[in-house]
C-alpha cells in the first residue's frame, strides 16, 4: 500500500508520530478511493491520541499551513494546496436512541474501525515507522471492494440506528460506485427508515444530490423507494408510483417514467438543477389525474400545477430558493411547449414565444424534452426526435432574425412618456405590451424603427398626441 502514501504530508506525519509516540493511520474514504483508483482530495487521519495537536504540528511543519480546529468534534483540518487533511483522535462511541450525537470516549484503532459505516470505509493504512504502509482490514473490506458489496462492520441495525444518515450513504455509494448493498443491510434500512427523520434536512439533501449526480441516478432513486426512505424524504415523488386501470385503460407508471427521464438526461448533462427539473417535470401528475370515458387518462395542467409545487418542495427540502428554484420552476412549466410545437405546424410566432419565455434556458429545455421521450416504440421515438430537430433548427433561424431570446423592448418607457408628454401610467404599459406582442407575433420586426412607428399608431389610438419632433 506504500505507493498510496507518496504524498509529502504522510512523511511529515510519520516524523511527528516518531516524536510523540501517538500512532496514526490514514483511514476511510481516502484508502477506499485509492484502492478503487478514484481521484480524491480528502484525507482522513486517525490518531491514538490528540487529533488537534497532531494537526497543529503538521500544519506548522508543512510551512505554517492554516489549521481549522473544530473543538466540539475534537477534529482539525489542515488545508494543503492539493489536499484537505482531517485529523481526529480514535474514538469509541455510543449513541442515544433520539439523537445522532454520540457520547464519545477515546478508543483503540479497532474501536474506531468498528464505529465506521461500511467495511470498505473502515480500511486503514499505518503511518507508523515499524509498520509503515501496512493495510489494516479487520472486516475484509478489501474483499468487499473487489466484490462490489456494501456491508456494515457491525450488525447493520446498530450501524444504521447509531447514525441514520448512513442509510442515505449506503444508497449513495451503491449508486456512485455501482456496488450492491448486502441483503441484510437493505433489510435493516427498511426497518430503520423512520429514523432518517432525526437527521438534519441539509445532510439528507446533500446525499440525495450526490445520488442525483451519479452516472445512473435511477439506481439510487429506486433503492430509496424500495427501502421506504423516499416516502419519508420526498413523498411527492413516491406518489408518482403505480398504475391505475379503468375500463381496460392503464396510464404509465409515472415514477418509472421519471426515473428514465432522469437517466436519459444524465447521459447528456451533469448539471444538477437540470437533473432536478427532470425529476420534477411530472410531479403534479397525481393531483391532476382524471379519467374520462372518451379520452381515457389525462393530466391536464400538470405543468402549471407542477411549477407551483416547486417552491414549497424546495423550501421543505432546504434547496436554494433563488436562481436554482426559479430555473427548475421555469423548466417544469415549459416542459410541454416544445412537444406541442413539434406536433403542430411549427409556426414562427410559436417559436418566437417559446424563445421569449425560455430565454437562455432554451437549450436545457430542449434537452429535457428529448429526455422525456421514453416510448418503447422506435418509430415513434424517431418521429419525435426528428420533430425536435426541426424545432431546434427553427429556433436558430428565428433567433438570428428576431433576437427575442433575451428580449429587450426596442422602445423604452421613457421614450413613450417623452414622445406623448405623459407621466407613468397604464398607457405606457399598454403601448409597451402592444409592441412586444407585435414582435412575438411577427407583425413587426424587433427593431427601433418599426417599434417606434407602432408606438405612434397605438398612442394615437389611445387618444395621445405627439409632443416632440
Q: Which of 28, 89, 153, 306 binds ligand CTP (CB under 6 A)?
A: 28
CB-based burial label for 424 (10 Å; 0-12, 13-18, 19+): exposed
Contact predicate 160/189, CB 8 Å: yes
Residue 86 CB, shortest distance to ligand CTP, in Å, is: 8
The alpha carbon of 132 is separated from its chain's Cα centroid by a whole number of angstroms, namely: 40
For residue 220, the 8-state DSSP code is H
Q: What would the grid cell of residue 79 be?
A: 488545508
Q: Does 335 bind ligand CTP (CB under 6 A)?
A: no
Q: Among the candidate windows 115-123, 193-201, 260-268, 286-294, which touches ligand CTP by CB under 6 A?
A: 115-123
| CA-to-CA separations, 105 to 23, 71, 94, 321, in angstroms, rounded | 17, 15, 9, 40
Q: Does 121 bind ligand CTP (CB under 6 A)?
A: yes
Q: Does 29 bind ligand CTP (CB under 6 A)?
A: yes
Residue 113 CB, shortest distance to ligand CTP, in Å, is: 8
Determine the size of the site formed for ligand CTP (CB under 6 A).
12
Residue 11 CB, shortest distance to ligand CTP, in Å, is: 22
**Distance between CA atoms of residues 448 and 348, nearest Å:** 20
Q: Does 117 bind ligand CTP (CB under 6 A)?
A: yes
Cα-flanking dihedrals φ and ψ of residue 178, to 5°?
55, 50
Closest CA to 135 of 148, 118, 123: 123
Q: Does 91 bind ligand CTP (CB under 6 A)?
A: no
Residue 388 CB, shortest distance to ligand CTP, in Å, is: 36
Q: What would the grid cell of residue 446 be?
A: 424587433
Residue 331 CB, shortest distance to ligand CTP, in Å, is: 28
**Distance between CA atoms of residues 248 and 32, nearest Å:** 52
Residue 104 CB, shortest distance to ligand CTP, in Å, is: 13
Number of H helices, E strands in the chain: 24, 15
Q: Among the candidate windows 58-66, 114-122, 275-283, 426-434, which touches ligand CTP by CB under 6 A?
A: 114-122
Residue 220: other Cβ atoms inside 10 A: 25
Q: Does 49 bind ligand CTP (CB under 6 A)?
A: no
Residue 166 CB, shortest distance to ligand CTP, in Å, is: 5
Q: Does 141 bind ligand CTP (CB under 6 A)?
A: no
What residues contact 23, with CB distance under 8 A and at least 6 apart?
A: 17, 47, 48, 49, 109, 126, 127, 128
For residue 179, the 8-state DSSP code is P
Nearer Cβ to ligand CTP (100/241): 100
Q: Among the candidate windows 117-125, 150-158, 266-274, 332-340, which touches ligand CTP by CB under 6 A?
A: 117-125
Residue 38 CB, shortest distance to ligand CTP, in Å, is: 9
Q: What would the grid cell of residue 389 be?
A: 430537430
Q: Does 42 bind ligand CTP (CB under 6 A)?
A: yes
Nearer Cβ to ligand CTP (76/368): 76
Partner residues linked to 411 by β-bridges: none
Nearer Cβ to ligand CTP (41/453): 41
Task: Give the footprint of ligand CTP on residues 149-188 (CB under 6 A).
Answer: 163, 165-166, 169
Q: Does 302 bind ligand CTP (CB under 6 A)?
A: no
Tell me which residue has cell 441516478.
217
Question: Which residues are at the interface with ligand CTP (CB under 6 A)?
Answer: 28-29, 42, 44, 116-117, 121-122, 163, 165-166, 169
Amino acid at each position: 500500500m506504500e505507493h498510496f502514501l507518496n504524498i509529502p504530508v504522510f512523511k511529515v506525519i510519520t516524523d511527528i508520530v516518531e516524536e510523540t509516540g501517538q500512532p496514526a493511520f490514514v483511514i476511510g474514504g481516502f484508502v477506499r478511493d485509492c484502492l478503487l483508483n478514484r481521484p480524491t482530495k480528502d484525507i482522513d487521519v486517525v490518531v491514538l491520541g490528540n487529533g488537534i495537536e497532531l494537526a497543529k504540528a503538521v500544519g506548522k511543519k508543512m510551512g505554517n499551513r492554516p489549521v481549522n480546529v473544530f473543538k466540539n468534534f475534537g477534529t482539525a483540518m489542515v488545508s494543503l494546496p492539493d489536499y484537505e487533511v482531517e485529523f481526529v483522535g480514535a474514538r469509541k462511541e455510543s449513541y442515544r436512541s433520539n439523537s445522532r450525537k454520540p457520547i464519545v470516549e477515546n478508543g483503540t484503532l479497532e474501536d474506531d474501525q468498528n464505529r465506521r459505516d461500511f467495511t470498505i470505509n473502515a480500511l486503514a493504512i499505518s503511518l507508523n515507522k515499524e509498520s509503515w504502509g501496512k493495510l489494516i482490514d479487520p472486516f475484509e473490506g478489501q474483499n468487499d471492494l473487489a466484490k462490489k458489496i456494501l456491508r456494515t462492520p457491525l450488525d447493520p441495525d446498530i450501524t444504521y440506528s447509531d447514525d441514520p444518515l448512513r442509510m442515505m450513504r449506503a444508497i449513495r455509494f451503491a449508486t456512485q460506485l455501482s456496488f450492491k448493498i448486502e441483503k441484510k443491510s437493505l433489510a435493516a434500512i427498511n426497518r430503520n427508515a423512520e429514523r432518517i427523520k432525526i437527521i438534519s434536512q441539509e445532510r439528507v439533501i446533500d446525499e440525495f444530490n450526490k445520488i442525483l449526480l451519479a452516472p445512473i441516478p435511477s439506481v439510487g432513486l429506486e433503492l430509496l423507494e424500495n427501502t421506504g426512505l423516499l416516502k419519508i424524504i420526498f413523498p411527492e415523488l413516491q406518489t408518482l408510483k403505480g398504475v391505475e386501470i379503468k375500463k381496460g385503460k392503464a396510464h404509465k407508471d409515472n415514477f418509472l417514467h421519471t426515473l428514465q427521464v432522469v437517466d436519459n438526461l444524465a447521459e447528456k448533462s451533469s448539471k444538477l438543477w437540470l437533473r432536478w427539473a427532470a425529476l420534477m417535470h411530472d410531479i403534479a401528475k397525481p393531483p391532476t389525474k382524471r379519467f374520462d370515458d372518451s379520452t381515457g387518462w389525462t393530466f391536464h395542467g400538470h405543468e402549471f400545477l407542477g411549477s407551483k409545487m416547486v417552491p414549497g418542495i424546495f423550501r421543505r427540502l432546504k434547496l436554494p430558493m433563488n436562481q436554482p428554484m426559479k430555473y427548475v420552476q421555469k423548466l417544469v412549466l415549459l416542459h410541454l411547449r416544445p412537444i406541442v410545437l413539434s406536433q403542430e405546424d411549427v409556426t414562427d410566432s410559436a417559436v418566437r414565444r417559446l424563445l421569449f419565455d425560455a430565454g437562455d434556458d432554451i437549450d436545457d429545455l430542449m434537452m429535457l424534452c428529448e429526455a422525456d421521450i421514453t416510448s418503447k416504440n422506435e418509430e415513434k421515438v424517431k418521429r419525435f426526435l426528428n420533430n425536435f430537430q426541426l424545432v431546434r433548427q427553427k429556433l436558430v433561424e428565428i433567433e438570428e432574425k428576431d433576437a427575442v431570446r433575451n428580449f429587450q423592448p426596442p422602445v423604452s418607457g421613457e421614450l413613450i412618456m417623452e414622445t406623448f408628454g405623459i407621466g407613468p401610467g397604464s398607457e405606457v404599459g399598454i403601448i409597451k405590451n402592444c409592441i412586444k406582442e407585435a414582435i412575438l407575433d411577427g407583425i413587426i420586426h424587433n427593431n427601433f424603427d418599426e417599434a417606434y412607428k407602432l408606438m405612434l399608431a397605438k398612442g394615437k389610438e389611445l387618444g395621445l398626441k405627439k409632443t416632440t419632433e
